[in-house]
């Protein structure tokens, strides 16, 4: 399963990590956006979407022979939901894009040493992480906070419902912002500051091979899964890297879905000093994942096309952009419509377009928006190269598969060849491959080969143009955002 912000997907895979034909199901959904910056979904509704995806998959694959030996899942990082002592939700599920705790970020930065916490937890102070959200909830909803027995991720809550334990993996815990990524425990100094006890959080798995079985009620509902081993979910970013074949220091995954990210996985300890614009989480107890995330990605592209009311099909728009010169519009676009995470983590960042003139048309603005995302990726990659030597960049995500023009723009801006494998469900595939490694079915995810797919070579002439355009973009960023 892949439990995402925009959909819940499920499929059957074989023991070679290949999806079985015609077993994929995708149930789309959206987190509700509120006027005050919320991004939330009802916890019961979110769980039922997970259960319904399993229902739909088992119905769709009724004629597929063989035993389902295990269930592996990826889930979106940073979600937060409160539950009472009986496991009933006390809050909505808050997603990473929920910014209502933005005022608490300043409090955290004033009261605590952010650099020290960042190096311990791998997370900067930001509304996407738990510390700010928990402070906000304590202030705005004290009665709700008081009667909340546990604070969980959505997949932890789902685990409680399905297997009877509010259990979490180190992968999911490591992206909360209150987890010590070096010692694989909850970060004690932050918990004291937040007045949260470890018992109020999900139980950490004792080891990476720990699995669970369904509660009787769900075993009766899904008899085909009653003997299956259920692995706790891992973070979707980690799973995406694995599924795309980026499991070594030399390989970076560049993904664009609704949001975007550049990430590197490697075995060993976290970097001694994590670059200020990056985060560092866990894949498991032997591997870490380092990278940067953008709040705007494919969602920005869709928003621009809808808001500017562009005429014609998506292919028509792509053709028009492809026929225009790089940076020919002369615009500097600040891609922070959904706020900023990497690399500056400016909580109040907003989008902007600089340089509009009478000749500017809607396609110019869209073109500038796509290029601006590439500039932000370049900034992340520059910081990553201070930690690892990136030799290969592998692209993934629906937004890039649907937009070869955008993929080419990114290659040109980075001055680096991109490969786009023909892997349509990298996150669920990654969760499956890690489970197969844990089971001993495959030797290691590092040796599992992923086809390179389509190659996008950087064009030197465009790279030179984009170097100058990126400098102008950085100057605008410093003027408008870094204040």
388 shares its domain with 271: yes
| Dist CA 294 CA 338 (whole Å) | 9
Tell me the residue range of the domain where 338 lies.
246-420+453-483
pLDDT at 483 over 70: no
Q: Which H or E run includes 40?
A: strand 39-41
Region of 71 (left: φ > 0; alpha: ψ -120 to 50; beta: rest) is beta
Give a yes or no: residue 291 inside a domain.
yes
| pLDDT recorded at residue 447 | 85
In a domain, 426, yes or no: no
278 and 391, same domain (yes or no): yes
Q: What is the pLDDT of residue 463?
A: 98
**Rounded Cα gap, residues 368 and 366, in angstroms:** 5
Contact predicate 260/252, CB 8 Å = no
Mean pLDDT of 292-305: 94
Q: 172 with 156: CB under 8 angstroms?
A: yes
Tell me, yes or no, whether 348 and 409 share the same domain: yes
Asked whether residue 171 falls in the same domain as residue 283, the answer is no
Percent of the residues in the chain that have a pLDDT greater than 70, as a whole number: 100
Looking at the domain assignment, is residue 430 inside a domain? no
Per the domain annotation, does 434 fall within a domain?
no
| Residues 264 and 134 both lie in one domain | no
pLDDT of amino acid 452: 75
- Note whether 164 and 267 are same-domain residues: no
The kind and range of the H/E element at 152 are: strand 150-152
Percent of the chain with pLDDT over 90: 91
Average pLDDT over residues 349-354: 94
Mean pLDDT, range 140-166, rounded to an integer: 96
Residues 129 and 150 reside in one and the same domain: yes
Same-domain status, 194 and 65: yes
Mean per-residue pLDDT, 6-21:
93
Q: Are residues 223 and 252 in the same domain?
A: no
Average pLDDT over residues 197-225: 96
Write the CA distances from 170 to 5, 285, 330, 385, integer angstroms: 20, 7, 45, 25
What confidence tens digit (pLDDT) does each residue in 419-452 have?
Answer: 998 777 889 999 999 999 999 999 999 987 777 7
Q: What is the pLDDT of residue 6?
A: 87
Q: Which of 178, 210, 235 is the last residue of a domain?
A: 235
For residue range 452-473, list pLDDT tens digits in order.
789 999 999 999 999 999 999 9
In this structure, the answer to whether residues 29 and 175 fall within a common structural domain is yes
CATH of the domain at 322: 3.30.420.40
Locus of tokens 């970097």: 271
Paired sense of beta strands 179-180 and 185-186, if any: antiparallel
Region 154-164: mean pLDDT is 96
CA dist 5 to 29, 33, 74, 372, 452, Å?
A: 7, 12, 12, 24, 27
Which range among 280-284, 311-315, 335-339 shows the weakest confidence by mean pLDDT? 311-315
The neighbour count for residue 276, using CB atoms within 10 Å, is: 14
Residue 252 lies in a domain: yes
Is residue 323, in this structure, part of any structural domain at all? yes
State the chain's mean pLDDT as an integer: 95
**In the predicted model, is pLDDT for residue 381 greater than 80?**
yes
Nearest to 75 by CA among 240, 217, 216: 240
Residue 54 lies in a domain: yes
> Residue 344: its pLDDT value, please?
94
Domain boundary among 182, 216, 235: 235
Please indicate, yes or no, whether residues 231 and 250 belong to a single structural domain of this protein. Answer: no
Name the E strands within 67-149: 70-71, 74-75, 81-83, 93-94
Pairing label, strands 74-75, 234-235: parallel
Q: Cβ atoms within 10 A of the Cβ of 29, count?
A: 13
Last residue of a domain, one of 211, 235, 259: 235
Do 468 and 332 touch, CB atoms closer than 8 A? no
Question: Are 155 and 273 contained in the same domain?
Answer: no
Q: Domain count of the chain?
A: 2
Instruction: Kindly state whether residue 464 falls inside one of the protein's structural domains.
Output: yes
């Amino acid at each position: 399963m892949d439990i995402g912000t925009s959909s819940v997907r499920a499929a059957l895979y074989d023991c070679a990590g290949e999806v079985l034909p015609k077993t994929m199901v995708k149930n789309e959904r959206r987190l509700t956006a509120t006027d005050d910056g919320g991004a939330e979904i009802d916890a019961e509704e979110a769980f039922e979407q997970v259960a319904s995806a399993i229902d739909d998959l088992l119905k769709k694959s009724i004629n597929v022979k063989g035993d389902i030996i295990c269930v592996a899942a990826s889930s979106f990082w940073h979600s937060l939901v409160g539950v009472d002592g009986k496991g009933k939700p006390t809050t909505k599920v808050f997603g990473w894009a929920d910014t209502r705790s933005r005022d608490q970020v300043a409090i955290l930065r004033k009261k605590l040493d952010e650099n020290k916490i960042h190096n311990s937890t791998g997370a900067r102070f930001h509304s996407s992480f738990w510390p700010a959200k928990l402070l906000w909830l304590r202030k705005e909803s004290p009665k709700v906070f008081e009667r909340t027995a546990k604070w969980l991720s959505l997949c932890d809550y789902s685990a409680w419902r399905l297997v009877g334990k509010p259990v979490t993996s180190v992968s999911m815990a490591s992206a909360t912002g209150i987890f010590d990524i070096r010692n694989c425990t909850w970060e004690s100094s932050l918990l004291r500051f937040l007045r949260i006890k470890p018992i109020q959080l999900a139980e950490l798995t004792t080891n990476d091979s720990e699995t669970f079985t369904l509660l009787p009620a769900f075993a009766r509902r899904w008899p085909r899964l009653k003997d299956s081993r259920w692995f706790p979910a891992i973070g979707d970013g980690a799973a995406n890297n694995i599924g795309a074949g980026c499991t070594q220091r030399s390989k970076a995954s560049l993904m664009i879905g609704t949001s975007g990210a550049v990430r590197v996985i490697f075995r060993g300890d976290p970097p001694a000093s994590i670059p200020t614009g990056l985060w560092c989480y866990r894949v498991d107890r032997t591997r870490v994942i380092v990278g940067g995330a953008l709040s705007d990605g494919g969602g920005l592209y869709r928003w621009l096309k809808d808001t500017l009311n562009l005429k014609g099909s998506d292919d028509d728009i792509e053709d028009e952009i492809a026929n225009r010169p790089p940076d020919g519009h002369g615009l500097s676009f600040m891609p922070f419509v959904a706020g900023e995470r990497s690399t500056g983590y400016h909580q109040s960042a907003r989008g902007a377009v600089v340089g509009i003139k009478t000749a500017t048309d809607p396609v110019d603005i869209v073109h500038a928006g796509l290029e601006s995302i590439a500039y932000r990726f370049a900034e992340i990659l520059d910081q990553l190269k201070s930690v690892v030597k990136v030799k290969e960049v592998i692209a993934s995500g629906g937004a890039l598969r649907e937009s070869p023009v955008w993929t080419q723009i990114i290659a040109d801006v980075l001055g680096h060849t991109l490969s786009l494998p023909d892997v349509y469900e990298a996150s669920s595939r990654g969760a499956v491959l890690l489970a197969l490694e844990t089971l001993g079915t495959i030797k290691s995810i590092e040796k599992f080969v992923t086809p390179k797919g389509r190659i996008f070579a950087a064009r030197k002439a465009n790279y030179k143009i984009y170097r100058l355009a990126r400098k102008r973009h950085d100057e605008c960023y410093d003027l408008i955002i870094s204040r």
